[in-house]
Chains A and B, each alone.
Chain A
Amino acid sequence: MPFENEREEFERRKAVASAMGSPARLAERKAKGILNARERVALLFDAGSFTELGQLAVSIRPEMRAKSPADGVISGFGRIDGRMCGANVSDFTTLGSSSAEIHGKKQHHIRTVCEKNGLPVINLMECAGGRIPDIMGAAGIGRAGEGAVYSRRRVTPAIAAVLGLTYGGGAFTCINSDITIMRKGAVLAVSSPNVTAVAISEDMDPEALGGWRHHSETTGLIDLLADTDEEALALLKKVLAYLPDHHGEREPDAGIPPGAEEAVTRMLDLLPESRAQVYDMRKLIAAILDPGSFLCLKERFAKVAVTGLGRLRGRTVGIIATNPMFKGGALDTDACDKITSFIVLCDSFNIPLIFLADTPGFLVGAESEKRRLPGKIMTFMAALELSSVPKIALVLRKSYGQAYLNMAGGKADTTAAWFTGDISFMDPAVAVNVVFAAKREDNPQGFDDLLRQVSAATTAYSLAEPFMAHAVIDPRGTRDYLAAMLEVHARRLTNGVGEHRLAVWPPAY
């Protein structure tokens, strides 16, 4: 066969790159049940669809060329469930997939091509941080910044998974993604415990510094949790299916699953008749949406607010709800941040928003004010007002005060209330106290008369009479109503594509 020497050289180089880092480190991972970068690529992409770029790229430092296959990151393009995507997959066995010049250049190329051509970006991250000695000295850190672009305009969706120790650049890539999945046992932080220990004399357990509990419950910086690499990649595929390839289109239609109209018929059994009793809003959401379609994001963070993607008759919708099960449904500062970031996500990718309100209002008090509640409420409101996707507001039970407006009451394309709706500037019982300076213990009869008087004007019908609620509906008719309104407010003039005024909003709050 001709070109024998050339073929040999070509195959030799390919084999070196494909082998990744040291066999010992690869074996160590295998023993722990953690996939290596090439196994992750194989699992994520449709068989035979991945085209790798930069496979033969290596470190810019001549003495490191032999030790830096692909410079620690597998980059390329392939199909996920038939859809072309770009991907950067960290190879931790090669220099800890640390950030360095060629390593960064490869990732930047993938992101740029995706943005130019309307392809989703997948980031499977592990990263030891900046590479030593590349990053050292003035020129080292200066060079690191020269080629880097951190800001995004959310032209195409970016989905990330934190799949190991992920510091510095790898962590920032996850933060800059629209949805981030974390495998339990992985760590996401600015710098490693070693650096932290030296820099600020603080000994830290990596889990406490940036483990899954920390990020899913306290910071809210991750959206979804997985127990294994395999589960994380399956979740990533699931997430992608809700999203379009780019901001200039709608997502693929998933079709209506069988039995989709059944659960909503039992809605009256899910809602307690006593207004003082709480319930888990997630059960109602599951009954409203296509069966099995609700994917709750940041579920363990700011539980008062429920945000998630789901489908109604096959099309993606974003759900923003209050959950009376936690803090009675009173919105706090973390809940405001959570909702704001979700509005930004949905508005950027043409996902209609459905607001389900059952809230006594914003959680007032000294602690809330200290945490900048007024600022958070207004940022939430700005996101709501500036968003241009179709919005439907539905009041399920109570919706009081500014929270009524923030939950899109009167702000959405259309507002409706269940016949159980109760809308006012505050809880009627509190209002009697405040407005009439009356207390039940002083004069029970007088208090109850005033309460009846105040409550009479807070019903769903009181909102419908001045055409502020466009409809009062039976909870069992929720799916029909929402589907009809989504069809009406479908933004036909632009094929369902919005104006994306929030596309340049911050990646985190």
Chain B
Amino acid sequence: MSRRTLQSEITGKVWKIEAAPGDRIGEDSTILILESMKMEIPILAPIDCTLIELLVEEGEAVKEGQAVAIIEE
């Protein structure tokens, strides 16, 4: 079981969180959605995984490369 930190690929704002810690998430499912450049940009699960921790809240500003969630395979 390896843990991975997911990062934001882009500077923006957390618009909506769609999963909660403990949730089982399928590959390519949305964990949270950022708003940047007038677009809704999802952060997706790269693999089938469990969401361990969310590191941001709705409305929070995030920078490119900032850790936003921890998942476990």
Contact = CB atoms under 8 A, between A and B. Distances in A.
A265 to B, nearest CB: 25
A277 B37 CA distance: 12
Contacts of B9: 326-327
Contact of B39 (A328, A363, A365): A328
B37 A328 contact: yes
B38 A327 contact: no
B38 A360 contact: yes
A324 interface: yes
A241 interface: no
Contacts of B41: 278, 327-328
Contacts of A15: none
Interface in B1-45: 9-11, 36-42
| Majority secondary structure, B binding face | loop
Interface in A317-356: 324-330
Given A327-B9, A327-B10, A330-B10, A360 B64 contact: no
A278 B42 contact: yes
A326 B34 CA distance: 11
Nearest to B15: A276
A324 B39 contact: yes
A359 to B, nearest CB: 10
A interface, size bucket: 10 to 19
24 contacts: A275-B38, A275-B39, A276-B39, A276-B40, A278-B39, A278-B40, A278-B42, A324-B39, A325-B42, A327-B9, A328-B10, A328-B36, A328-B39, A328-B41, A329-B39, A330-B37, A360-B37, A361-B37, A363-B10, A365-B11, A427-B37, A427-B38, A429-B38, A430-B38
Interface in A420-437: 427, 429-430
A221 to B, nearest CB: 21
Contacts of B10: 327-328, 330, 363
Nearest to B9: A327
The 5 closest A-B pairs by CB, nearest first: A328-B39, A360-B37, A327-B10, A328-B37, A276-B40
Interface of B: 9-11, 36-42, 64
Contacts of B11: 365
Contact of B40 (A277, A326, A427, A429): A277
Given A278-B40, A327-B9, 20 more contacts: A275-B39, A277-B39, A277-B40, A278-B39, A325-B42, A327-B10, A327-B36, A327-B41, A328-B10, A328-B36, A328-B41, A329-B39, A360-B37, A360-B38, A360-B39, A363-B10, A365-B11, A365-B64, A367-B64, A427-B37
Interface in A284-326: 324-326
A3 to B, nearest CB: 65
Nearest to B28: A280
A37 B40 CA distance: 50
Nearest to B35: A276
A329 B37 CA distance: 10
Nearest to A367: B64
**Which of B37, B38, B41 has the most chain A CB atoms inside 10 A of its CB?**
B37
Contacts of B42: 278, 325
A277 B10 CA distance: 16
A358 to B, nearest CB: 10
Contacts of A429: 38
**Which of B11, B38, B39, B41 has the most chain A CB atoms inside 10 A of its CB?**
B39
Contacts of A367: 64
Contacts of B39: 275-278, 324, 328-329, 360
A278 B37 CA distance: 12
Interface string A240-276: 0000000000000000000000000000000000011
Contacts of B38: 275-276, 360, 427, 429-430
Contacts of A427: 37-38
Contacts of B37: 328, 330, 360-361, 427
B64 to A, nearest CB: 6
Nearest to B37: A360
Contacts of A277: 39-40
A330 B38 CA distance: 11
B54 to A, nearest CB: 21
A430 B39 CA distance: 12
B12 to A, nearest CB: 8
A360 B10 CA distance: 13
